[in-house]
Amino acid sequence: MNAVFAGAQRLRDRSRHAAPQVFDLIRDKIVSLDLAPGTVLSRPELQASFGLSATPIRDALLRLQEEGLVDIFPQSSTVVSRIDLAAARQAQFLRRAVEQEVVRTLARAPDRALVARLQAFVAEQALFAEAGDFARLSASDEAFHRALCEAAAVPDLWDLIRRRSGHIDRLRRLHLPVEGKAQQIVADHRRIVAALAEGEPEAAQEALRDHLSKSIALGDEIRARWPAYFA
């Protein structure tokens, strides 16, 4: 596990409290599957990696537990949780409900600056997909959807979605390397942006709904391929 967090101390921003930074970094490693489901997280090793005392490490792990990303067994161990398909489906339901209303709202009043920003995201995503750079593609994908919520003046709802999305995000990460999946993300985003640019609320909702439904529809198939990763 130490190799996963190599250089962690150098990444710390001294203007921020330690625990949120540790939380963000461990969460990213879990969602990206660098820390696979079932991985045991050693608190002493985390303290050594981050150069921190026990308290911020404990606080970060408790937040991860609240999001369902780790299981803490008192006086025993902390383990990266396995993917729960039921939790993934609920997170997908929440996200689809919120984001369909977001794109409907945005399509009713097209904003050229927003469209240009979204098109820039899609352009870089196409490059990442072509290069097979799934880590950067995932980060740009998240930034794209965050930008939609911010443009609709509901950034707190994006934060809510993120707190509930650990299981579905890991499911998507398993799906991403499948041939054609990365290119499909790019194509879906282009459809969403085109509908927003043309001021077509129904088309924007349809494109968004279709985009967010693919991985969860293949949940059982993905679980069959990676059974050790699932609850």
Domain boundary among 26, 57, 80: 80
Domain boundary among 80, 104, 123: 80
Same domain membership, residue 89 and residue 192: yes
Same domain membership, residue 195 and residue 131: yes
CATH value at residue 150: 1.20.120.530
* Type of residue numbered 174: L
Same domain membership, residue 90 and residue 76: no
Same domain membership, residue 89 and residue 76: no
Same domain membership, residue 75 and residue 89: no
DSSP 8-state code for residue 178: S
Domain boundary among 80, 115, 134: 80
Residue 38, CA atoms < 13 Å, CB-side half-sphere = 6
Q: What pTM value is reported for the model? A: 0.90
Q: DSSP strand E in the chain: where?
A: 40-41, 70-73, 77-80
**Total domains present in the chain:** 2
Structure tokens at 99: 């984001």
Task: Tell me the C-alpha distance between 153 and 156, whole Å.
Answer: 9
Kindly report the number of other CB atoms within 10 A of residue 134's CB atom. 17
Task: Tell me the C-alpha distance between 29 and 26, whole Å.
Answer: 5
Same domain membership, residue 222 and residue 108: yes
114's enclosing H/E stretch is helix 112-131
Same domain membership, residue 31 and residue 116: no
Task: Tell me the C-alpha distance between 192 and 210, whole Å.
Answer: 10
- What residue numbers bound the domain in which 72 lies? 2-80
Same domain membership, residue 178 and residue 118: yes
| pLDDT value of residue 74 | 84
Same domain membership, residue 135 and residue 31: no
Same domain membership, residue 67 and residue 141: no
Query: Using an 8 Å Cβ cutoff, are 209 and 95 in contact?
Result: no
Same domain membership, residue 68 and residue 160: no
Going 12 to 5 to 57 to 80, the CA torsion angle's sign is positive
CATH value at residue 43: 1.10.10.10
Same domain membership, residue 138 and residue 89: yes
pLDDT in tens, the chain (231 residues): 656 766 566 555 665 788 899 999 999 999 999 999 999 999 999 998 888 999 999 999 999 999 999 999 988 899 999 999 999 999 999 999 999 999 999 999 999 999 999 999 999 999 999 999 999 999 999 999 999 999 999 999 999 999 999 999 999 999 999 999 999 999 999 999 999 999 999 999 999 999 999 889 899 999 999 999 999
Query: Using an 8 Å Cβ cutoff, are 54 and 43 in contact?
Result: yes
